[in-house]
Amino acid sequence: MNISGSSLPVMSGASESGEVYSASLAKKQQQADGAAALALIEGAAQSSSAQTPAKSVTATLGNNINVYV
């Protein structure tokens, strides 16, 4: 893989501009991560509300356990 400096964005020599650019990219990434997390939470809430309620447990469930050796 060949990486050349000509494809990178041009930043003036000041280190502050690089820091501002990096902070801008970090902010955009955090916003994208937050949006993805919200979508995941909303999707989980919708799927859990769409599930059928659990059947009621009877008093005799689990009283007899067959163990064969």
Domain spans of the chain? 15-42
Asked if residue 4 has pLDDT above 80, the reply is no
Give how far Cα 19 sits from Cα of 25, 53, 54, 67, Å: 10, 53, 54, 67
Q: Which pLDDT score is estimated for 46?
A: 79
pLDDT tens-digit map of 7-53: 555 555 557 888 999 999 999 999 999 999 999 999 888 766 556 66
More confident residue, 54 or 42: 42
Distance CA 41, CA 35 (A): 10
Q: Which pLDDT score is estimated for 58?
A: 67
pTM: 0.47
More confident residue, 31 or 60: 31
